[in-house]
Structure 1
Amino acid sequence: MNIPPHAQAAPLSQAAVPDDPTPSGNVADLSFQASATAITRASDTQRAPASAVPRLIAFAIDPAIKQIVEDETPYKEEIIRLFSFSEEAREAYPTRLARGTFDNFVTVTNDIALRFPSFNAGHLQAGGEPLGRDGRRLRIPEHEIAAAAFREDVIHAYDGNPAYVRARHAGYVISPRTMTAWYQVGDKPVQSICDRLPVYPLRDGKWMFSQPWVNSSPNACVEMLLAEGKDRQAVTEQISGLKSRMAARLFNLVETLEKRSGRRVITVHGQHRLSSHDVTALRALLEKHGACIFNQGMYVSMLDDIQETPEGNIILSRRIPSSGSYFDCADHASIWTGCIGEDDGHVPDFCRDVWDAHFLTREAAPASAPAATAP
């Protein structure tokens, strides 16, 4: 799939501004420079009760921001409304650019802006009042607080390293001028079929379920695999009760897939980067069963295709639920180290050098048996 020439200069996940305030697909390369939104601070003596966790100062929130934060149907329109952050919040989390109800936009390498999922109440509690560059405790509104690990989280490769991306098929576009975002497939903006959560139709019977919360990538991938090949009406039926399923902690991905589909799951295990044997085995299973869930410890995404060029380069077609991106990229170290930058080190918690690929077959699932393992 080719991206139109006018979009190639700015990847779909990169900060971009249209020629007019409405999504038109005509995007230009522009760094996202968010201006601070004025937040009216209450008296310094107006504090939360001593027993409250975390210790937060009471703020008078701008009504427009409050409406976005508490919106029950943030995807009822094609446009996603955003707000920028106060100066204190940008000092606490320098990579954060703007936020919607569930959509954060953050900067990574090369001034690329990526969509990042929201932090639920538990993560906000864990965040507490963050510290500034000089070590002082910053006082910022609760809706601007993120998890304590937010600074480190954004270096994780929740998207492809731009240097290795060969084509982008779909992703978010943001406009700093209008403080809005939208989802775009090719050069066409599309609207979520669910007004409560981001569920977007792609091409060739594929779907993007952008994960709403940081822990919900397995949930989003289960939904994407179950939606594979379905039409709009069938997926509309599937998403009934979606918000509660996304919020639930998913402990057994295979069992959930088999129970909901009634079909058998085949799992392939691997270690370290893909070998020639891995590529051959995965490509055969992809051709037979279609897309799979690619599980690297805490990091779960969709693998749609894998090819090897005459020069020996491995090209992966991937859907990333955290960023909402759908792209082709060459195999590279970032996929396995857990960081976007080649020199950002390694994130061992993500166990990315040990992986499982889960395929949903057409065979009936066993009554009560573990997933089969492909030879």
Structure 2
Amino acid sequence: MRNIVLLSAWWIALPASSSDWPEFRGPGGQGHSDEAQVPVEWSVDKNIAWQTELPGEGWSSPIVWKGRAYLTAAVPVEGGRPNDRLLIASCLDAADGKVMWRKTVFEQHHDEVDAIHGKNSHATPTPITDGQHLFVHFGAQGTACLSLEGEVIWTTQELRYKPQHGGGGSPVLIDGLVVVNCDGSDIQFVAALDRRTGNMRWKRDRPAIETSKGFSFSTPLVIDVGGRKQIVSPASDQVIAYSSTGDELWRFTYRGYSVVPRPVYGNGLLFISTSFDQPTLYALKLPTQDSSPEVVWSLAKGAPHTPSPLLVGEELYVVSDRGVGTCINSATGEVHWTERLGGNYSSSPIFAGGAIYFQNEDGGTIAIQPGTTYAEVARNSLPGRTLASFAVADSSIFLRTDVHLYRISTK
């Protein structure tokens, strides 16, 4: 089902500034912020500009655009059945945390959704903005476009599949399209929706795989290789690159399923993790023409099931779900150091203000200096469960727990 309520006259994507965080893992989707000064220390009574209680539950990460923070949630229906939810989008004033608007986008009905994993929510995909519109995705429950004032422009529920454990992957934007991975336990495909209308522009079924576990939860990454835009789309047993018109550019196969980490790209290499059961981290040299990627190196020990890698300079940083941090030479795969950071990890690390931040699932954050020797800067803690990833904007860190959204700032 598709519903177009309003068409805007202006559909030009606006460039992000250093004070914007427009998508999952920030500008470019690789966990980097250009902010020069960001707090490295905080607690409940230090460097907290504000905290705002959030309705319902959700593990979508916040995004920030021009002084506003956006995120989604699934709110239980009063008197409803266990999985009856209002799927909402919210906008907060980034200056003071006050709610500017909340909008119910979809109504989820108990008998139309399967049980989710204990670490998941019914609102896990992170929204994305082109600077004039907000695109929200609730997996198989629906995708929508809103104005930045909360007016619904279009909705669609055409992307139907059976998500194992609930939805996970976030949308990306390319050439007037909203692209999402739809890797269910029944069918697996990638879909591109028209950014103006929500109409399906193309849909590509995943090639046949060996595993019976076709479900995955990763977010695509849009990159440029040799002047050619590519949508790098991880899935169970394979990662595939598509053009903006849906043509397959290349494919790399591996053994793995329930793939969560978003790839990163830099220094001429693509870095991916294969997730379950035993993850392997691959560094791939990508082809400039239609051929297959070349494996430069691979590493199994310490590879993450869930958190995405982080590339800073010549080094690649990963944290395993069980809390082992590893620094790797991105060109050779040589391990510089490993360190037990403490706790379990689901959120992805970021680089901001000259420091790397790792956030565990229990409100704890470890800040380190990048480099080939482990150098810890600070350990911080806030109450609550933390599975969403950071956002960084206006010299501040935005951190979502199971109860609150925090702005961490020295201002």
**Structure 1-normalised TM-score?**
0.29
Which protein shows a greater Rg?
Answer: 1
Structure with more of its chain in helix, by fraction: 1
